[in-house]
Amino acid sequence: MSSNQSLNNDDFNGSQMFTDCKNWIKSLFDSLPFFVKWVIILNILFCILNLFTRYISFYLADIPYFTIFYGQIWRLFTTAFITTGLFSLIFGIYIFNKYSNQREKDIGTVKYAIYFFRNCFFIQVIYCIIFFITSLIINNFNLLKLKMFGGSVRNEGLWPILILEITLICLENPEREMTFFLIPCPIKAKFYPLALLCIFTLLNNFVIDFELLSAIAFGFLCHYYIKDKIEISNTFALKMENSFLFKWMKNKNGFVSITNPRSNSEIPANLEVINNRNNNMISNSNSINNNNENKAKKFKPFVGKGVTVGATEQKSVENVENEEKAEKKEEKKEEKKEKEEKVVYSNVNSRTNDTLNSSDSRLDLNTSTNSQV
């Protein structure tokens, strides 16, 4: 009886754990936005199918030879869903969810989908250009067929998109110091993507991953030169959302509309509140500094003598009265001097007037004598 009870308990615990795990996975997928959810599902699905047949990666991955010479343009967009390694798949999905989940909720599902495929397109175009130029330099076009041989390039899938996101985040504040994984030595943010490329090159047996190099190159190019030119406007995204290509998504679970207030106003509103608070703090600090400067300008050092408190107060008052009397005496002396100067000045003026009058009389006499003559 006891053995049967233990078996029943084990079966109950196992079934309970299975249901709990199933519910956890279901709640996790329900919390994901629509486009991020399907990117993760397609990566898992193609990775499983690729274990049984290589035709999936052969027809969907970006092989520059077929993309350039056979015009198979779909490879520029579908290669983001092809991941050949389980390790790359697990970490790629984890980091992709970390960076893309909130972004889709902020800008909307359609706008993020356009943003995602745009980045895939430009990264793979740069990837094909790099391989084509190197094949011309070494005069060997077999280099364009590298992805035909499985395992030559291991970090396809979501890693180029993730490296691009990390590059753009680092370039927003390039002088900021960042720690590289568990290494305590800080590194500036503008060098962080290149350090990641070096780490992946070491892990890939000193073979440079040109997809990651293309993602970093597009990140620098986008940040410094073409970001404003290829930016997706809200009006264009709204038109695409109402078009027949995306209209069927609106009623799906996890779809984030561009007109949804939760997707467009929560974080910008919070940012506006924070910016307003910062501006108020700055204005308050500036007003305090201006008041302090005005007080410093109005302040004048005291030149006179102070009044002592206590037993010596009468002496100090007497000293002040004596000083006032002395100042009045000096003022009286100055008034006397001014009066004397005025008297002297008047005397001088009278003398000068007399001399002028005498000279005028002489001139009259001379003129009269001359006329008589």
Written as one letter, the residue type at 105 is: K
pLDDT at 328 over 80: no
Question: Residue 239 sits in a domain of what CATH number?
Answer: 1.20.1540.10
Is 140 part of any domain? Answer: yes
Q: In whole angstroms, how far apart are CA 185 and each of 170, 189, 195, 242, 283?
A: 17, 13, 12, 50, 38
pLDDT at 26: 75
pLDDT at 7 over 60: no
pTM above 0.75, yes or no: no
Angstrom distance (rounded) from CA 120 to CA 157: 10
Angstrom distance (rounded) from CA 77 to CA 157: 10
pLDDT at 23 over 80: no
pLDDT at 181: 64
Q: Name the token pair of 301.
A: 């050092």
Is 281 part of any domain? Answer: no
Q: In whole angstroms, how far apart are CA 38 and each of 26, 46, 95, 240, 258?
A: 14, 12, 15, 19, 19
pLDDT at 35 over 80: yes
Of the spans 71-75, 183-187, 293-297, 339-343, which averages the highest pLDDT? 71-75
Angstrom distance (rounded) from CA 60 to CA 308: 96
Written as one letter, the residue type at 275 is: N
Mean pLDDT within 197-219: 86
Q: Which residue has the higher pLDDT, 343 or 309?
A: 343
Q: Which domain holds residue 114?
A: 16-266
Is 25 part of any domain? Answer: yes
Of the spans 27-31, 277-281, 299-303, 311-315, which averages the highest pLDDT? 27-31
Is 244 part of any domain? Answer: yes
Per-residue confidence band for 170, with pLDDT thresholds at 50, 70 and 90 = very high
Per-residue confidence band for 209, with pLDDT thresholds at 50, 70 and 90 = confident
Per-residue confidence band for 283, with pLDDT thresholds at 50, 70 and 90 = low
H or E segment to which residue 188 belongs: strand 183-188
The values of phi and psi at residue 127, to 5°, are -60, -45
Mean pLDDT computed over every residue of the chain: 74
pLDDT at 263 over 90: no
| Number of structural domains the chain divides into | 1
pLDDT at 313 over 60: no
Q: Name the token pair of 305.
A: 């003598």
Is 346 part of any domain? Answer: no
Is 313 part of any domain? Answer: no
Q: Name the token pair of 325.
A: 């009397």
Q: Which residue has the higher pLDDT, 169 or 320?
A: 169
pLDDT at 153: 41
Q: For residues 109 and 245, is the Cβ–Cβ distance under 8 A?
A: no
Lowest mean pLDDT among 161-165, 277-281, 333-337: 277-281
Mean pLDDT within 201-212: 82
pLDDT at 267 over 90: no
Per-residue confidence band for 230, with pLDDT thresholds at 50, 70 and 90 = confident
Is 4 part of any domain? Answer: no
Is 280 part of any domain? Answer: no
pLDDT at 155: 45
pLDDT at 373 over 50: no
Mean pLDDT within 11-16: 64
